[in-house]
Structure 1
Amino acid sequence: MSHGSEEVASATIELLEARLARLSYLLTGNTDWTGTPSGPQKPASLDDTVSRRLIRLERELEKLSRAVPAVRDLIQLHDRFPDLFNPTPPRDIPEHLSPRTLASIVLSYATAFPETASRLTSLNDLPIPDATTSASLIAMQPRLDRMAQTQEEQAATLSELRVRTARVLQRWYEVGVMGSGECWAEWEGRLEGLEREVRRREVIREKRENEI
């Protein structure tokens, strides 16, 4: 191995050791008398491992989301828009742009600054709702949930009634309207046959009378 490769390998190992020490300090927050971060202690049991603790936290979060609608809404918001919960990383000013171009970019957003400031000011002017009102609204949440469930059941019942009504109307149309039409058509045909028979007999009678 060449001398340059040894230096690169040594620098890489030192960098990894520094990152490992930084991670150890973030996990434990303890250092020895020399300032070197101490490693994390071995868990006393399997339940104290990081994986088991994460599983317990996920279960507790799931229970909390089922019990508190606000937490459930927050989790859904995080799933739909994860970028809202991630801080925007700082970006360096591109060196290839001239000051005139940078100024034009900043000035293009100048109209948004007063609008944003007025909105923030209006938020500051909004009164904070009374705690008793918020507590009463929170206490009403179970009733609202029951009412929402009742509304869903009523909507399902109405949907079933609509289907049954459509079937009854279809049956009434097929039996009442179309059946009556067919019956009237049959009666009309029979009447026409009787009228033809009566006329035929009248013609025969008139011929007999004329012959006499």
Structure 2
Amino acid sequence: MTLESDAIAGATIELLEARLRRLNYLLTGDTSWTGVPAAPPKPDTLDETASRRLARLERELERLSKSIPAVREVIQLHDRFPELFSSTPSQNPPEGLTTQNLASIVLSYATAFPETSSRLSSLTDLPIPDAQISASLIELQPKLNKLTQVQQEQAKEVSALRIRTAKLLQRWYEIGLVGGGECWAEWEGRLEDVEREVRREEVIRERRAKEL
């Protein structure tokens, strides 16, 4: 009886070790040169163990649930309805649905079947381009790349010319228009001063002529 129990315990340990190696391979992908999954590396410190890391994740999740209402609601929803978070294989229909429910789901997509079929048929009706035309287009690709580069350089030159033109227009406006207007204003001021002096001299002459 003892030998049988020891054999069962040894087989159980071997199965657990095999499952552990498989799990480690799924997580890390490390194997030896023979293809056997390598043993998981030992953590450097106690804080790097799986239990400590899980405890940190649980504390972080608890902190998020206290500070963020959405996280708390998701956790409560998972606790109340865990079946919502379990993935259902696509080849198996979901449990709890009757044949009538499944038929209604299929019939709801019935209008999409002819449309999909017509699109697939249109793909078969599209003509395949000639191989020589495709080859000529491929040969033109280096020339198109050069033309694109030339176009980019021309765009840079045009941009630089626009900047220079804007600066020249600003210069002409400041010197030609504003400067010319200031010059005309100064000349008009001088003419008004001269006219004032001429009128004053004429008035003086008229007074002197009357006194004589």
TM tier, shorter chain?
A: 0.5 to 0.7
Q: Distance in 1 between matches of 2:204 and 2:12?
A: 131
Matching residue of 1:167: 167
Q: Shift in Å at residue 202 of structure 1?
A: 1.4
Compared CA separation, residues 143 and 208, structure 1 to 2 (3 A): same
Matched ranges for 1:92-103 at <5 A: 92-103=92-103
Q: Which residue of 1 aligns with 2:129?
A: 129
1:182 aligns with 2:182: yes
Deviation at 1:17, TM superposition (A): 6.9
The count of residues paired between Structure 1 and Structure 2 equals 147
**Unmatched 5+ residue regions in structure 2?**
25-32, 36-87
- 1:150 corresponds to 2:174: no
- Write the mapping of 1:113-124 to structure 2, written as runs, cut at 5 A: 113-124=113-124
Deviations 1:32-89 (A, max 9, x none): xxxxxx946xxxxxxxxxxxxxxxxxxxxxxxxxxxxxxxxxxxxxxxxxxxxxxxx9
Q: Gaps spanning 5+ residues in structure 1: where?
A: 21-37, 41-88
Give the Å deviation of 1:143: 0.4
Give the structure-1-normalised TM-score.
Answer: 0.58
Which stretch of the first structure deviates more once superposed, 8-17 or 115-124? 8-17
Greater Rg, structure 1 or structure 2? 2
CA deviation after TM superposition for structure 1 residue 170, in Å: 0.7
Identity of aligned residues (%): 58
Q: How does 1:45-124 map to 2 (within 5 A)?
A: 91=90, 92-124=92-124
CA offset at residue 206 of structure 1?
1.7
- The alpha-carbon distance between structure 1 residues 106 and 5, as it changes in their structure 2 partners (threshold 3 A), is farther
State the partner residue of 1:83: none
Label 1:209 to 1:90 Cα distance change in 2 as closer, same or farther (>3 A). Answer: farther
* 1:8-40 deviation digits (Å, cap 9, x = unpaired): 5433334467899xxxxxxxxxxxxxxxxx946
Could you tell me how far 1:114 is from its partner in structure 2? 1.8
Q: TM-score when scaled to structure 2?
A: 0.58
Please tell me the root mean square deviation across aligned C-alpha atoms, in Å: 3.3
CA drift of 1:7 comes to 6.3
- Name the amino acid aligned to 1:140: L
